[in-house]
Amino acid sequence: EVQLVESGGGLVQPGRSLRLSCAPSGFTFFGYELNWVRQAPGKGLEWVSSINTIGDAIYYADSVQGRFTISRDNAKNSLYLQMDSLRAEDTAVYYCARVAVSGYYFYFMDVWGKGTTVTVSS
Amino acid sequence: EIVLTQSPVTLSLSPGQRATLSCRASQSISRYLAWYQQKPGQAPRLLIYDASLRATGIPARFSGSGSGTDFTLTISSLEPEDFAVYYCQQRSNWYTFGQGTKLEIK
């Protein structure tokens, strides 16, 4: 079965750091671009970051630029999100998602993990 | 940044009825649109990509249409399990999502 499993969420104080991980199964990890997407309580979906297959093309939403770092280790089949200088507004469920590309070169997300919850509070 | 605006915010219908959800882009995105379904406590699930292509395993009652700036997700005859929140998504420079439409049981 194709799936993604996130881990590393928890309660953290403002200004502190947290690292999320995402582990895939059932597909060739290194062949896919991956995203982090988050959802604040009661809110909609917000794209956070993307990383290409070899990790040399990385993009961030303005809201996390300079504070979050996405990375991947293809040898370990793992995706990471290092979150520094956390703020209350970073409180959310964080999903990792696999990127698919259509024949028209449209990028969308075809496999999602169940998410890991990050709560930033003192 | 391209903004996606979904309407209505909430749609109240009964099982068996037809649902029509709208997503409007602030500028043309050709057919580069996806739709997702999200149930409470669950991750989003891909329904439609390229505006009208159903993802693997998605029932035929779900259909997508549109191009340019106006898109529609139609559920031809609602099943009890279809009541959820639906999001549209585009990727021009970066990914953006609509704010969602909640489809609730009337």
What chain A residue is nearest to B44 in terms of C-alpha separation? A112
Indicate whether A62 pLDDT > 90.
yes
Over residues A6-21, the pLDDT tens digits come to 999 999 999 999 999 9
Mean pLDDT of B89-98: 93
pLDDT at A28: 86
Residues of B with CB under 8 A from a CB of A: 30-34, 36, 38, 42-46, 49-50, 53, 55, 87, 89, 91, 94-100
pLDDT at A109: 98
Over residues B8-53, the pLDDT tens digits come to 999 999 999 999 999 999 999 999 999 999 999 999 999 999 999 9
What does pLDDT average to over chain A? 96
Helix (H) or strand (E) run with residue A97 in it: strand A92-101
At position A114, the amino acid (one-letter code) is K
Report the b/e string of B66-102 with b at 16+ CB within 10 A: beebebbbebeebeeebbbbbbbbbbeebbbbbbbbe
Select from A35, A46, A108 the Cβ nearest to the Cβ of B49.
A108
What does pLDDT average to over chain B? 97
Contact A45 B91 (CB under 8 A): no
Cα(B15)–Cα(A121) distance, rounded to whole angstroms?
Answer: 41
pLDDT at B96: 97
Residues on chain A touching B29 (C-beta within 8 angstroms): none
- Mutate one of B1, B3, B49, B86 to test the A interface: name it (highest A CB count within 10 A): B49
Strand ranges in chain A using DSSP code E only, listed in sequence order: 3-7, 10-12, 18-25, 34-39, 45-51, 58-60, 68-73, 78-83, 92-101, 107-112, 116-120
The alpha-carbon radius of gyration of chain A (Å, integer) is 14
Over residues A23-57, the pLDDT tens digits come to 998 988 899 999 999 999 999 999 999 999 999 99
Indicate whether B92 pLDDT > 90.
no
pLDDT cut 90: percent of chain A above it: 93
Closest Cα in chain A, distance from residue B38 (Å): 10
